[in-house]
Amino acid sequence: MTEEELTADAHHLVGWEKHRFLVMVGMSIIIALMLVAVSMKLYESSGAAQLDLSRPGYEHVTEKVATSEVFKGFPAVGEIDKKVIEEFRTMYHKRAAQATNVDSFSGDVMSDAALAIDAPAAPVEPTE
């Protein structure tokens, strides 16, 4: 094809063919918005929204959540020797045991104790 033929073909294109890149971008945005709407609907209907304590309006509930043990992280800096490696292995095996001791098919999987978010026991008042 010569340049004149290509120019003639370009003049015969209809409106949407001249702007097909913009049409593609617009359709991509529309599809993305539809997928976000579907995912938000699933988020609400599945009950996951009730578990998300980081949502606005749940700050007061987040403060009340207490764990029985505060996880002490492993330091990111320092020397690596046998003592440090053993300390890491001990911490790792303790957490791995907690994660694998839950029966996946029981109803207790989503309990506060299984998720390690149960409130500590109230202090016992001394009797007089």
36 Cβ contact partners less than 8 Å away, ≥ 6 residues apart? none
Does residue 49 lie within any of the structural domains? Answer: yes
- Residue 60 confidence class, pLDDT cut points 50, 70, 90: low
Question: Does residue 80 sit in the same domain as residue 61?
Answer: no
Question: Does residue 23 sit in the same domain as residue 36?
Answer: yes
Question: Does residue 17 sit in the same domain as residue 38?
Answer: yes
Question: Does residue 61 sit in the same domain as residue 75?
Answer: no
Q: b vs e for 34-52, b when ≥16 Cβ sit within 10 Å of the residue's Cβ?
A: eeeeeeeeeeeeeeeeeee
Which of 23, 49, 65 marks a domain boundary? 65
Enclosing H/E stretch for 32:
helix 20-45
Q: Look up the domain containing 95 and give its range.
A: 69-123
Question: Does residue 30 sit in the same domain as residue 74?
Answer: no
Question: Does residue 58 sit in the same domain as residue 82?
Answer: no
pTM summary value: 0.38
Question: Does residue 51 sit in the same domain as residue 78?
Answer: no
Does residue 128 lie within any of the structural domains? Answer: no
List, for residues 79-101, the tens digit of each pLDDT value: 888 988 898 898 888 888 877 77
How many structural domains does the chain have?
Answer: 2
List, for residues 18-44, the tens digit of each pLDDT value: 788 888 999 999 999 999 999 999 888
Residue of 117, 125, 123 whose CA lies nearest to 68: 117
Q: Rounded CA gap, 111 and 33, in Å?
A: 35
Which of 46, 65, 84 marks a domain boundary? 65
